[in-house]
């Protein structure tokens, strides 16, 4: 609940200062304490799995528990388990070489916690996109302050209540509230701020952080393309693209936003997509496995995008017999050809899939290269040569070849954007490193020759510096 000024600001500041004082008392917790916090996070997820799923379903109007288990609970637990398995090793000093002229000194990198990590979670996967950053923060030895989205209020209330029972407020504090609370949250002097959300909001977050010279990790979005090379297996590509697109009704930052495919294959793609939807979402208007759109504003945005496209000559290809239902925020899946307007220019974030035909593979590559760098890229090809060509030609935050979404769920791979789709990466060791300071250390040996380079700069110095310049 948003507090009224100045009470809201005072409450945020008091919670932050409690974390700050605790971090100052215990600057670098050992592995046992970090592991204890990770296990507490694990217990939070497992004990409240169904409560969280019910709250998320309430926010969306309809989202199946199975989808929450698959896309939120499972990857959340995976990220915690990966941290528990590898975190102690990540904490160790990392030896680095020492140049000849500094020997016998020794050099290493010593990971240190940053202190307090601020995390801003979005509404589309509110559990996973809270827990995964928390796992990175805790394994790195930090404390955390988490701001949950006001667009998923039932989940926010449920998670905040459960977290308060599981964690002391000087380890984790959870903030709820609206846009003004979020703005004041991002203005706090954290040691690092991790934001997941839209590119537009990310710009505001970065401006707020700049006043504190606050380092940020921005996980944004954009138009992530799927590209079918001429040799792609069309039936396989359609199945994997539709799976990735219709998870959470397309409300996924790494969902395939549009498809580039060889000209002449559009009709077959649409036919295969209809068959796939009929098989996996029969009687879609009453199907309990199909998620609904989060709120009226997002539903209206999608409806207006379809109307604008149709008004400018686009052709709409419904993939089921279900009709859009604004009252229930049910948006059936739709393929669009010859798309114009918002569907062609902005991230769709819904179950609408434009198809763009190309004549030559280099034309498809150029289409991607001429636009902001995407958060994800999904090339489909059985040719290693074509795969390597596409991977060397397209810069994207992450890639899954011959499938969609999977790279995000792997605890061993960093997750992050590039350019307009974000900056910085986390998950696994990348998350540990991102939320640590890898402090460079050089330890001088008792017996050393450093004094030979001190003034006065006479013949001995000139001889030594001459040797040094040559090596």
Encode the chain (471 residues) as per-residue pLDDT tens digits: 444 567 778 999 999 999 999 999 998 999 999 999 999 999 999 999 999 999 999 999 999 999 999 999 999 999 999 999 999 999 999 999 999 888 999 999 999 999 999 999 999 999 999 999 999 999 999 999 999 999 999 999 999 999 999 999 999 999 999 999 999 999 999 999 999 999 999 999 999 999 999 999 999 999 999 999 999 999 999 999 999 999 999 999 999 999 999 999 999 999 999 999 999 999 999 999 999 999 999 999 999 999 999 999 999 999 999 999 999 999 999 999 999 889 999 999 999 999 999 999 999 999 999 999 999 999 999 999 999 999 999 999 999 999 999 999 888 899 999 999 999 999 999 999 999 999 999 999 988 888 888 899 999 899 989 988 887
**Total-model pTM:** 0.94
Instruction: Identify whether 6 is preceded by a cis peptide bond (ω within 30 of 0).
Output: yes
Structure tokens at 254: 């790494």
pLDDT tens-place string over residues 114-155: 999 999 999 999 999 999 999 999 999 999 999 999 999 999
Cα diameter, the chain: 91
C-alpha distances in Å from residue 148, one per residue of 74, 157, 277, 298, 453: 20, 9, 33, 18, 57
Distance CA 411, CA 415 (A): 9
Residue with tokens 């030594």: 464
pLDDT tens-place string over residues 164-174: 999 999 999 99
For 311, half-sphere exposure in the C-beta direction (CA atoms, 13 angstrom radius) is: 9
Count of CB atoms situated within 10 Å of the CB of 304: 12
Distance CA 471, CA 468 (A): 5
Ordered structural domains, the chain, with CATH: 7-220+424-438 (3.40.605.10), 225-411 (3.40.309.10)
Q: Which residues are catalytic?
A: 219, 253
Q: Residue 16: what pLDDT?
A: 96
Distance CA 109, CA 95 (A): 6
Helix 153-166 and helix 49-60, axial crossing angle in degrees, nearest 10 = 160
C-alpha distances in Å from residue 16, one per residue of 142, 146, 160, 184: 13, 11, 16, 12
C-alpha 235: how far from its chain's center? 29
Q: Residue 4: what pLDDT?
A: 54
Distance CA 356, CA 227 (A): 10
């Amino acid at each position: 609940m948003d507090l009224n000024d100045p009470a809201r600001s005072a409450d945020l500041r008091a919670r932050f200062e409690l974390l700050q004082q605790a971090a100052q008392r215990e600057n670098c917790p050992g592995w046992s304490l970090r592991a204890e916090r990770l296990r507490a996070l694990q217990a939070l997820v497992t004990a409240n799995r169904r409560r969280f799923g019910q709250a998320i379903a309430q926010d969306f109007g309809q989202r199946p528990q199975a989808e929450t288990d698959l896309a939120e609970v499972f990857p959340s637990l995976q990220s915690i388990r990966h941290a528990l398995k590898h975190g102690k090793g990540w904490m160790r000093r990392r030896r680095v070489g020492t140049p000849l002229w500094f020997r016998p000194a020794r050099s290493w990198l010593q990971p240190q916690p940053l202190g307090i990590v601020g995390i801003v979670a979005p509404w589309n996967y509110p559990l996973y996109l809270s827990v995964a950053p928390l796992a990175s923060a805790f394994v790195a030895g930090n404390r955390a302050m988490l701001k949950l989205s006001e667009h998923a209020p039932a989940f926010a209330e449920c998670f905040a209540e459960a977290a308060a029972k599981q964690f002391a407020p000087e380890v984790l504090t959870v903030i709820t509230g609206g846009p003004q609370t979020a703005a004041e949250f991002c203005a706090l002097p954290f040691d690092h701020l991790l934001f997941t959300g839209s590119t537009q909001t990310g710009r505001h977050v970065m401006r707020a952080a700049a006043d504190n010279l606050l380092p940020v990790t921005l996980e944004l979005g954009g138009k992530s393309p799927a590209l079918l090379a001429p040799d792609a297996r069309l039936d396989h590509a359609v199945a994997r693209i539709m799976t990735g697109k219709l998870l959470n009704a397309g409300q996924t930052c790494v969902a395939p936003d549009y498809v580039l495919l060889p000209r002449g294959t559009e009709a077959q793609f649409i036919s295969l997509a209809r068959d796939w939807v009929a098989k996996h979402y029969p009687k879609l208007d009453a199907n309990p496995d199909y998620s609904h759109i989060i709120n009226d504003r997002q539903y209206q945005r999608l409806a207006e995008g379809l109307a604008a496209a149709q008004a400018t000559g686009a052709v709409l290809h419904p993939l089921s017999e279900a009709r859009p239902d604004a009252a229930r925020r049910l948006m059936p899946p739709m393929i669009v050809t010859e798309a114009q307007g918002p569907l062609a220019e902005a991230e769709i974030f819904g179950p609408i899939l434009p198809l763009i035909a190309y004549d030559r593979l280099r034309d498809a590559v150029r289409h991607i290269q001429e636009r902001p760098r995407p958060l994800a890229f999904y090339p489909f090809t059985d040719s290693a040569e074509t795969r390597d060509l596409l991977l060397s030609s397209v810069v994207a935050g992450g890639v899954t070849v011959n499938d969609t979404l999977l790279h995000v769920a792997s605890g061993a791979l960093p997750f992050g954007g590039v350019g307009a789709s974000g900056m910085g990466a986390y998950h696994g060791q990348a998350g540990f490193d991102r939320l640590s300071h890898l402090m460079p250390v050089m330890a001088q040996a008792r017996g050393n020759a450093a004094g030979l380079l001190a003034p006065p700069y006479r013949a001995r110095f000139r001889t030594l510096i001459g040797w040094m310049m040559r090596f």
